[in-house]
Amino acid sequence: MYPKILFSILLSMQLLQAGEYAIISNKSIRTLSKSQIKAIYLKKLTIIDDKKIIPINLDSRNILREKFNKEFLHISLTKLKTYWIKQHYLGHRPPLSFKSQKSVKKFIEQVDASIGYIELKNINKNLSIVYKWSD
């Protein structure tokens, strides 16, 4: 009997921690595929519809950044750092990073063709959802 109760409690805790997230833009970009998002964040895809795309990350210690990397980039933070060190010598810089979802939202609202990721509950009418995912 106790294992069933413990299992139910653990399952409930996991469901409470599950979240919904969105890749967002300021209505200048409508939809993107997972492969396009990965290419944008690795700076392999930089222009869409004649617009220079500006990808925005959260700080590397942010849990949502970890979820984003797992969902889209499929690469550890260590390997990602190595990738950007190599890219630096080729003249490529990593995406900008911000400390909070609020600052990501504010930047995206003000800068055309910028994209970022935040929790779905933080979306407002000034933002366009280009991709949604959950854990």
Query: Taking a C-beta distance cutoff of 8 angstroms, is the pair 74, 60 a contact?
Result: no
Burial class (CB in 10 A: 0-12, 13-18, 19+), 41: buried
- pLDDT band, very low/low/confident/very high, at 24 (cuts 50, 70, 90): very high
pTM, to two decimals: 0.84
Convert the pLDDT of each residue in 77-116 to its tens digit.
899 999 999 999 999 999 999 999 999 999 999 999 999 9
Convert the pLDDT of each residue in 27-44 to its tens digit.
888 899 999 999 999 999
CA 16, CA 59: separation in Å to the nearest integer? 24
- Which pLDDT score, from 0 to 100, does residue 2 have? 56
- Which pLDDT score, from 0 to 100, does residue 16 have? 44
Q: Which residues pair with 97 in a beta bridge?
A: 57
Q: What is the CATH number of domain 18-134?
A: 3.40.190.10
Containing 102, the helix (H) or strand (E) segment is helix 101-110
